[in-house]
Amino acid sequence: MSRRVPARAALLSGLAVLGVVALTASPGATASTNHQRWSIANVGAFGGEPSLASDPHGVLYDVTPSGGMVGYRSTDHGRSWKPTAVPDSASGDDCVTTDQTGAVYECNLAGSAEKAPLQADVWKSTNGGRSWVQGQTTTPGLDAKTCATSCSPFGVDRDWLAASVLKKGDRTDKARVVLMYHDFYGPSSIWVNISNDGGKTFSKIDNVMATPAVSAGAVTGSLAAEGYTFCSTVPAGVGIVPPGKPHAGRIIVGWIASDPAEDAAGCNLSQYETFHTLWVSYSDDDGTTWTPQLAYDAGVGHDTSSPFSAFTVDSDGNPYFGFVTNADSVAPVCGAESSAGMVQHDYTCEYNMYVVWSKDGGATWDGGGGTIPGSAAAPYRVNSTQETGTHWFPAIAADSPGHVAVAYLRTPTILPVGPSGKADPGGCSGDYPPTQVGPCKWYLYAAESSNLTLPPGKATWMVTNVSGNLPMHIGDICNLGIACVDDDLGTKAVGTSRSLLDFIQEAIDPVTGCAHIAYADDNTFNRLRAANQIGGCFPRSHRR
């Protein structure tokens, strides 16, 4: 998660326009009639784990940590891309976001500017990425060159950013900017640094579970969150409710975790726990107090880390998780079938794509009824029962409430799992049959729903195989973060290449209502690519 492989050389270029494949997703639901069409453009040289954002004018920014903070900008809806200036020549985890003025912000991990190891920096540009300014820490006696923007004594891993002006018409120098991450050396809790001067200076670190708001629910939520997340978290993202909306200025952070029993087994960095709980914590007072809330519990043995879940907020500031999990499985059964080479005949063992969301700013999810008050009793299933196999690397973007776009990678092969329900390392490499299958062929899929205001099981989805019949990756995709064994390091035996790194990302152009997906292709094209929706976009009348 925090160490990256080098970029590979670019070989091919081109543009593809693809048709659609419509599938029903939720049980008993019918597909939307709003047909999607997509084009694919090359962005730049190969780079894994791309982050993507759109500014209010539809200008797109795409950033990869392969080779430093390498960024690109598109002013024509993703058809062509030009490099931006590089804020830092060294980088681990990257991210990108924008505020309502069009200012763009990037984050990076383990950069070259500071002396302290495993810290995060925030960089800002007000001229479309031509130049960048580094955010400073307000920790007494320290600066960004010594301790970075984050200045965390526990180290930093998997950083995310959000930015928003607090009043309509405000200048960018009054924007609230939130840097969110978990620590690398400490309890693996969730932390933020907050700026209220447009990213110029950032507060000291703040734990989003340690200072509950003064209410019984917040205190109870904090205790539950601490119990579930201690030692085992994967940050999913952060959002800020925009001005003029209910809960304007609210900061909402999201992450996934395991459970108290797995925490008691000891802290480690292998990520071999089953991360089956999805959490948020929100603050209405600039981070002074926080209210943690369970969003959904998929159940022990149902892992939601591939290795990340996806997180976003819609135009009203309501939060969403996109995640994949083996929700229908019985972990010991699927583990035994995987060991015996029989798992391809058991569709209950497959990982599928799901969404949960909150209509009230993070307090209640999918109408409630879950294991903890306010949490979801059931998620929205995206792919249909006919779309079998393994769904991986979820991405999500939201327009107006209930209008949601998701993306994921899919192989028709069912990924083998261990007895706990966690995906087998190297399981899709085909190196050691029958327990390792493949090598799996992976394709990029996109899905869209305009009626998530309906209950789970009633909402409809339009699903598209964006990459057509050309796999964008062949082989295994490891979900164990830095514990992955990488082919590029010379260990050819298990075939667990990390060239794609940890995720893909999606954004919606607020002008056109069209979705865009940033992803890496290391098979046919060996490039950083962008899938651009050119038909079936969200109507402008649906956006606020």
Q: Is 99 helix (H, G, I), strand (E, B) or coil?
A: coil
Which CA distances in Å does 225 have to 50, 228, 235? 30, 5, 14
Instruction: Name the pLDDT band for 135 (thresholds 50, 70, 90).
Output: very high
Instruction: Name the pLDDT band for 324 (thresholds 50, 70, 90).
Output: very high
pLDDT, position 221: 66
pLDDT surpassing 80 at residue 510 = yes
Which structure tokens are listed for 251? Answer: 């900061």
In contact, 48 and 499? CB cutoff 8 Å: yes
Query: pLDDT per residue over 359-383, tens digit each?
Result: 999 999 999 999 899 999 999 999 9
Measured CA to CA, the distance from residue 49 to residue 500 in angstroms comes to: 6
Tabulate helix, strand, coil % of the chain (nearest 5).
10, 35, 55
Torsion angle of alpha carbons 533, 98, 319, 36, nearest 10°?
0
Report which of 339, 458, 439 is spatially closest to residue 390, judged by C-alpha positions: 439
Rounded to 5 degrees, what are φ and ψ at 76?
Answer: -130, 45
What letter represents residue 182's amino acid? H
Measured CA to CA, the distance from residue 104 to residue 172 in angstroms comes to: 10
Report which of 403, 382, 357, 447 is spatially closest to residue 540, judged by C-alpha positions: 403
Output the DSSP codes for 457-519.
Answer: TT---EEEETTTTS-SEES----SGGGPPPGGGT-TTT----TTTT--EEEE-TTT--EEEEE
β-strands 201-202, 136-137: how paired? parallel
Give the domain ranges of the chain.
Answer: 15-542
Torsion angle of alpha carbons 259, 94, 52, 181, nearest 10°?
30
Average pLDDT, the chain: 88
Residue 371 DSSP label: S
Query: Burial level of 130, CB count in 10 A (0-12/13-18/19+)?
Result: exposed
Query: pLDDT per residue over 22-64, tens digit each?
Result: 444 443 333 334 578 999 999 999 999 999 999 999 999 999 9
pLDDT, position 517: 98
Mean pLDDT of 156-168: 96
pLDDT, position 6: 29
Q: In the chain, what is the greatest distance between 2 CA atoms, to the nearest angstrom?
A: 62
Residue 415 DSSP label: P
Of 3.30.200.20, 3.40.50.970, 2.130.10.10, 3.30.565.10, the CATH number of 15-542 is 2.130.10.10
